[in-house]
Structure 1
Amino acid sequence: MDSTLGMVALALLSALPAVVAAVRRRRPAEPLPPVLLGLELARMAEHVRLVEEGNQPRKAERLAASTLAYDLVLRDYCRSVDLPVPEGHGTLSRSQRFELESALITHGHDW
């Protein structure tokens, strides 16, 4: 049993340089164009509205998750059009969300 485990470990170690080289060759992911982020933001806004109006179980959790997803897309959209974004990765406050949405609208973007 020990010899089998040793052979497996040796095989994994011998494959490691090839895996590391492949990972290093990968191109970084290209950012999404602003138009696609606008479409996704519209879809997320509609989802938040449906959760708010709905009567599904665990409504508070569903609303929190939907709002967080909306806020993440809102941040990405703002970054893609070079608008300043608040630090952090969590849910935005209502005033932060309003400021980002207003900045997008002011700069001619809609969703």
Structure 2
Amino acid sequence: MVITLGMVALVMFCALTSVVVAVRQRPKKEPLPPVLLALELARLAEHVREVEAGNQPWKAERLAASTLAYDLALRDYCRSVELPVPEGRGTLSRSERFEMESALITHGHDW
């Protein structure tokens, strides 16, 4: 049996069409409830404290990764309760982090 370029193109087109249809039919992700984000933030805060107090290899890298994860969870938590969030995606400055944590506490949120 001889496979032509047209046959290969037809098979690829059919496969691509099914992928596009599957992507369009995905249900939208629902945001996590604030209580779950608060629990995650508490877990990450504890992890940051453990890394700071620990003496494992690559401590600076572990601390940077843990802090970034905490900052991302903090942003998500603030967004979920409709508090302002600084622009950007990286690690927050100490003052930005303090302002966000203070805003959460001021509005009655705890973690």
Q: Above 0.5 in TM-score?
A: yes
Question: What is the match of residue 28 of structure 1?
Answer: 28
- Ranges of 4+ aligned residues in structure 1 off by more than 4 Å: 4-9
**Residue 25 of structure 1: how far off its partner (Å):** 1.2
Q: Percent identity?
A: 79
**Secondary structure at 1:3 match in 2:** coil
**Residue 11 of structure 1: how far off its partner (Å):** 1.9
List per-residue Cα deviations over 1:2-44 (Å, max 9, x = no partner). 9388755532221211211111111211100000000000000
The count of corresponding residues between Structure 1 and Structure 2 is 110
Instruction: Give the counterpart letter for 1:89 in structure 2.
Output: R
**Residue 91 of structure 1: how far off its partner (Å):** 0.1
In structure 2, runs of 5+ residues without a counterpart are: none
Are residues 55 and 8 of structure 1, via their aligned partners in 2, closer, same or farther at CA, if it must alter by over 3 Å? Answer: farther
Structure 2 residue 10 is the aligned partner of structure 1 residue 10: yes
In structure 1, runs of 5+ residues without a counterpart are: none
Instruction: Give the counterpart letter for 1:34 in structure 2.
Output: P
Give the alignment's TM-score, normalised by structure 2: 0.92
Say what the alpha-carbon RMSD is for the aligned residues. Answer: 1.7
Distance 1:19 1:7 in 2: 19
Distance 2:27 2:103 in 1: 32
**Secondary structure at 1:13 match in 2:** helix
Distance 2:7 2:70 in 1: 49
Question: What is the match of residue 81 of structure 2?
Answer: 81
Distance 2:9 2:54 in 1: 53
Are residues 7 and 102 of structure 1, via their aligned partners in 2, closer, same or farther at CA, if it must alter by over 3 Å? Answer: same
Are residues 12 and 106 of structure 1, via their aligned partners in 2, closer, same or farther at CA, if it must alter by over 3 Å? Answer: same
Question: What is the match of residue 96 of structure 2?
Answer: 96
